[in-house]
Amino acid sequence: MKALRVEKKRIAVRDIELPEAGQEALVRVLLSGICNTDIEITRGYAGFNGTIGHEFVGIVEDAPNGQLVGQRVVGEINAGCGDCELCRAGDPRHCPTRTVLGIVGRDGAHAEFLRLPLINLLPVPDRIADEHAVFAEPLAAACGIIERTPVNRDKNVAVIGDGKLGLLCAQVMALTGAPVLLIGKHPEKLRIAERRGIETATAKNAGLRKREFDLVVEASGSASAFSTAVGILRPRGVLVLKSTFHGTTEIDAATIVVDEISIIGSRCGRLAPALDLLKRGAIDVDSLISEEYPLRDGLIAMERASRKGVLKVFLRP
Residue ranges that bind its own copies, judged by CB under 8 A: 45, 94, 96, 148, 211, 226, 235-236, 241-267
CB of 257 to its own copies, least distance (A): 4
CB of 46 to its own copies, least distance (A): 8
DSSP label of 94 = G
- In the complex with its own copies, which residue's Cβ is closer, 92 or 298? 92
CB of 227 to its own copies, least distance (A): 10
- In the complex with its own copies, which residue's Cβ is closer, 152 or 249? 249
Q: Positive or negative, the Cα torsion across 136, 139, 145, 150?
A: negative
Nearest to 31, CA basis, from 127, 126, 143, 110: 110
> CA–CA separation, 135 vs 212, rounded Å?
31
- In the complex with its own copies, which residue's Cβ is closer, 65 or 248? 248
- In the complex with its own copies, which residue's Cβ is closer, 28 or 245? 245
Nearest to 16, CA basis, from 31, 4, 24: 4
- In the complex with its own copies, which residue's Cβ is closer, 98 or 115? 98
CB of 249 to its own copies, least distance (A): 5
CB of 250 to its own copies, least distance (A): 4
Q: Do the bridges between strand 99-100 and strand 78-79 make them parallel or antiparallel, or are there none, so unpaired?
A: antiparallel
Residue 244's alpha-carbon distances to 45, 252, 290, in angstroms, are 8, 20, 22
